[in-house]
Structure 1
């Protein structure tokens, strides 16, 4: 890795650097156009965040070296990760590379295999149907907020079980948006500001402490429920018409032979909850927006859904029979993120594509930049789900990095696709028509690429009915 200096070339610097702040004004004002413009300057481009240099990788092949081939030389770190670690602790997304990361990933992996997720599928569908079905026809709704609330509620059911007390669900839902805003603030401000005893900093610290207390209560509830279930006599029937509450995915960690500490359980729960809300909710909001812009896509989605579900509500086993819905969602993930900037730290002097990266430097890669590269995705601003057909997708896989790659690839990818499909299908089933009522949203690069404003109205059919009733999911006749 440490080639002679003659083997490397000077790393081009991005234009527009200002004294003291470097390129911070571009990152604050127009980060997405700024990042995509870097491709013109080289495969690795130096920017400055304040006085500190960072090296942006614009070539997806080099990004794969950072994440996979030479990952040992690029550890999890950088300004964003350091800021998020203040909130996540040492959760799977932020814990440093090494034995702790490998151990925790091994413990959590069974939670996210497809078979295990399937055992929570119908409970998630029921939760989503109850929330989407409660919307008032014709009411202008904040779609981004709705999608975040629904993804959180569905994930809470999957994570902690169907019997999580209502007051805990309500407080999680109320607390998480404010916590996410505070966390975003921590990532964009200088670290010395976030350490000052300012009202905003104190409020964020208090909210995070409250979130950890809520997670403790949810863990204690799950532990008690498991103990009560074990104490129930074999063959003891539940009350007539009642189903036994389903345990959540988190039970896997609580019952693991190699136990995590309570602090580690909190860290992992926070990491999972945050990932479930921000990325999934953002993707769904953009997907619904694109559907309002493309009647042909909506028609194909509804036709596929009707053919698979017939006259009944969605079942979990239907998801694999909805390939067009999956392509629509994958195109939304490609076009809008979810993350737009991710950092690593070079552990030593490294040659990357003929450029010398000094030890300790931040190395930046951007799923958004790679997924808008016209060399891999012709007409990248066009929303085209058919670019994900098997015939066309093989040429673009190397540039689709929304879930990362290598040993730090997102552990929840399988869950994310399931949750995305469940929520999209449910909205389409319960609401025959929805329309954008705000101006077209503008992409806003925060942690994810979120819409700055997006409201829609959802309407019933002309005769006032919906195409699918709100009956229970199990037992649908074929």
Structure 2
């Protein structure tokens, strides 16, 4: 696609500083800064250090970048380069081409609904055990709890039910610090990230330790199950065999370990890190915000509990119930819309491009923001209002093309089906276990790290509906009341 002879002048966002450009805005006030760019035009130039980047504020133009003209905007840019240090060449960061296509085709069966269903009951059991262990009536750091639970559930799904507890514990301890260090590297100028600062060295050590843990998880699986080829073949032909056969302890990762064209150990590590990050941080953040919004909207909570009771009656949740909870899905989708989860994603133009009349030079970073698009009042009236009914069939058409939390096009998140299943399992289990939830801290403020997380959020979980005797229980994450 050739550029126009007389392109539209691209405005530059105000507030840039010598050497660092707009990096101080991205580091200190990323969400207000990102959403403010809409007032300057559909494409706005910013600087990350001395390097210009082009922020797309019109969701229709973002769809051109991701779908229509995707061949001319490759997976790259400063954010992807920084994430590649962490992910390696996992599916989320590997360049477009044969490797990406091969790995996506290899991993696709892991995330079809039938395969996910084989892990559903194991995930529910893991989540139920953890949620039931919380002590009643005590303030809890819910963001930390949700990340712990999503990690534990995903480890069961990914590596199987017999992963040693010590590995799960260390995964849980490492991931938050690693994610914080990773996002720091995405917003700082590259010359700063190359300095041998203590924070950078600590981040490198944590990433190396994470890779060692993944190796241990793979070795543990291989030692316990040296040959699952026959089981895998049987499961491919019969979903019930996968759920009940001798391979039931295996996880989704067995698909990669049993591939006809084996992946190297480095490639296995890269894909495991990509999957862990994609499944934990975004899911945990969404659940924390969802539970917060439930405490603010009693009618939403009432409808959620009524739907769950109608489907499950008096029995515990089963995996087949998940598809029968449409209101729960709308509540979760509204939490994803309102709070991100991602707030800044990049592509790289491979040639001079015309984007909405603006000239994008070859090699330039193109930035898009799901958070910005999902707060666009033209598509989401009352964008700051939590309204699950905006996702009813009658109203959802108005949002078409603007909900981009999972991306779009050929690089759309491969784990979307799994994310919805995990989100609904955890939300339903929390509601079944605890009849009442109340806020125990001030209202949280959105904080852009990897996801848009709550800066401080504590909730209380009550065993009764209107106060009374607390049930006994254990727990690991109490906090002081705010």
Q: TM-score, normalised by structure 1?
A: 0.92
| Aligned counterparts, 1:452-463, within 5 A | 452-461=455-464, 462=467
How far apart, CA to CA, are the structure 2 residues paired with 1:301 and 1:184? 34
Mean CA deviation greater in 187-196 or 353-362:
187-196
Aligned twin of 1:90: 89
| Aligned counterparts, 1:141-220, within 5 A | 141-220=140-219
| Partners of 2:161 and 2:250 within 8 A in 1 | yes
How big is the shift at 1:228?
6.4
How far apart, CA to CA, are the structure 2 residues paired with 1:98 and 1:244? 34
How big is the shift at 1:423?
0.5
How big is the shift at 1:294?
0.3
Q: SS of the residue aligned with 2:292? A: helix
Aligned twin of 1:130: 129
Mean CA deviation greater in 29-38 or 436-445:
29-38
2:402 equivalent among 399, 404, 416? 399
Cα offsets for 1:118-142 (capped at 9, x unmatched)? 0000000000000000001112110
**Pair 1:386-2:385 in alignment:** no
Unaligned regions of 5+ residues in structure 2, if any? Answer: 232-244, 472-482
How big is the shift at 1:191?
2.5
How big is the shift at 1:463?
6.1
Aligned twin of 1:430: 433
Classify 1:21/1:197 alpha carbon distance in 2 versus 1 (closer, same or farther; 3 Å): closer
How big is the shift at 1:21?
2.9
Aligned twin of 2:417: 414
| Partners of 2:140 and 2:458 within 8 A in 1 | yes
How far apart, CA to CA, are the structure 1 residues paired with 2:230 and 2:367? 52
How far apart, CA to CA, are the structure 1 residues paired with 2:51 and 2:204? 27
Mean CA deviation greater in 322-331 or 426-435:
426-435
How far apart, CA to CA, are the structure 2 residues paired with 1:18 and 1:254? 49
**Pair 1:344-2:343 in alignment:** no
Cα offsets for 1:93-130 (capped at 9, x unmatched)? 11111111111111000000010000000000000000
Aligned twin of 1:308: 311
Aligned twin of 2:235: none
**Pair 1:295-2:284 in alignment:** no
| Partners of 2:48 and 2:187 within 8 A in 1 | no
Aligned twin of 1:225: 224
Unaligned regions of 5+ residues in structure 1, if any? Answer: 233-241, 467-478
How far apart, CA to CA, are the structure 2 residues paired with 1:257 and 1:230? 10
| Partners of 2:4 and 2:354 within 8 A in 1 | no
Classify 1:252/1:453 alpha carbon distance in 2 versus 1 (closer, same or farther; 3 Å): same
How big is the shift at 1:231?
10
| Partners of 2:23 and 2:187 within 8 A in 1 | no
Q: SS of the residue aligned with 2:225? A: helix
Aligned twin of 1:239: none
Classify 1:62/1:113 alpha carbon distance in 2 versus 1 (closer, same or farther; 3 Å): same
How far apart, CA to CA, are the structure 2 residues paired with 1:465 and 1:200? 43
**Pair 1:252-2:251 in alignment:** no
| Partners of 2:16 and 2:22 within 8 A in 1 | yes
How big is the shift at 1:259?
1.3
Classify 1:34/1:463 alpha carbon distance in 2 versus 1 (closer, same or farther; 3 Å): closer
How big is the shift at 1:183?
1.7
Cα offsets for 1:443-470 (capped at 9, x unmatched)? 011211111110111111156588xxxx
How far apart, CA to CA, are the structure 2 residues paired with 1:200 and 1:35? 26
How far apart, CA to CA, are the structure 2 residues paired with 1:22 and 1:124? 45
Aligned twin of 2:75: 76
Mean CA deviation greater in 414-423 or 13-22:
13-22
How big is the shift at 1:184?
2.2
Classify 1:463/1:22 alpha carbon distance in 2 versus 1 (closer, same or farther; 3 Å): closer
- CA RMSD, 1 decimal: 1.8
How big is the shift at 1:285?
0.4
**Pair 1:45-2:48 in alignment:** no
Classify 1:95/1:228 alpha carbon distance in 2 versus 1 (closer, same or farther; 3 Å): closer
Q: TM-score, normalised by structure 2?
A: 0.91
How big is the shift at 1:48?
1.7
Aligned twin of 1:67: 66
Classify 1:404/1:200 alpha carbon distance in 2 versus 1 (closer, same or farther; 3 Å): same
| Partners of 1:163 and 1:245 within 8 A in 2 | no
How big is the shift at 1:189?
2.5
How far apart, CA to CA, are the structure 2 residues paired with 1:244 and 1:429? 30
How far apart, CA to CA, are the structure 2 residues paired with 1:269 and 1:356? 38
| Partners of 1:194 and 1:201 within 8 A in 2 | yes
How far apart, CA to CA, are the structure 2 residues paired with 1:276 and 1:197? 31
1:364 equivalent among 355, 364, 367? 367
